[in-house]
Amino acid sequence: MYYKIIISKYILHGDTMTPHISAKKDDIAKVVIMPGDPLRAKWIAENFLKDIVQVNSVRGMLAYTGTYNGKKITVMGHGMGIPSIGIYSFELFKFYDVDLIIRVGSAGTYVREINLGDVLIVENAYSDSTYAEIIGVDVKNKMIPANNEMVNLAFETSKQNGIDAKKINCHSADVFYSEFTCEEWIKRSNSEVVEMEAFGLFANAIILNKKALCLLTCSDSLVTHESMPSEERQIGFSKMVKLSLKIGINFYEK
């Protein structure tokens, strides 16, 4: 299979493990928090971690490793779209022996019941992408489930920390601009919100027998066309980031 040939090609790559990540193996923690924007990864590291060290800058995809509550955590950007998170999450799982990746991102809502600033835990990700099929993941109705253990851990951790988090299905879109209505997307995807990456992350976790989770903050309503102001995004995203870090600590302590 072409996919497996590509994997074997990069097993040895000098001092660095892959063409896209310059970190050495021990530079990367077993738990990795991944926002899309590399500058957001920098912001997370500088505001939430201690003793941080930058461990990657290849193609501007910044990664930092530090500690949170005494546990080693890496924060790294994953870029936009399934192909981008597909590359970075695959390499972290396969070549850096990462056990858990938590994507933290923004989402647009298709439904009125989800409000700006809501923290969301993805239970299932829908996509029209062929990514999962190509790598050999069995997909039913174009929907991939999140790891149930991690969803439960996330929900319990949110309750422990007084964070009101909703479990939802997300649409991992291949297009950012579309003329489809919310009703058309809901019918097509059976999802309440849209983002662009969870489907690829979940597919990699399944094929490599790893753990993955996606947390989202609702930043835009495609129903009312409201959007969170920049200062509110910072506060809202902080809540999600704190939750992701608490989940990471609970995962270590299991």
Just list the catalytic residues.
Answer: 220
Which element (helix H / strand E) includes 239?
helix 230-253
Which element (helix H / strand E) includes 76?
strand 71-76
Distance between CA atoms of residues 174 and 128, nearest Å: 7
If 0-12 CB within 10 Å is exposed, 13-18 middle and 19+ buried, where does residue 100 land? Answer: buried
Cβ-Cβ contacts under 8 Å for 184 (sequence gap 6 or more): none
Q: Count other Cβ atoms within 10 Å, centred on residue 85.
A: 29
Distance between CA atoms of residues 17 and 66, nearest Å: 20
Q: Count other Cβ atoms within 10 Å, centred on residue 54.
A: 15
DSSP state of 51: E
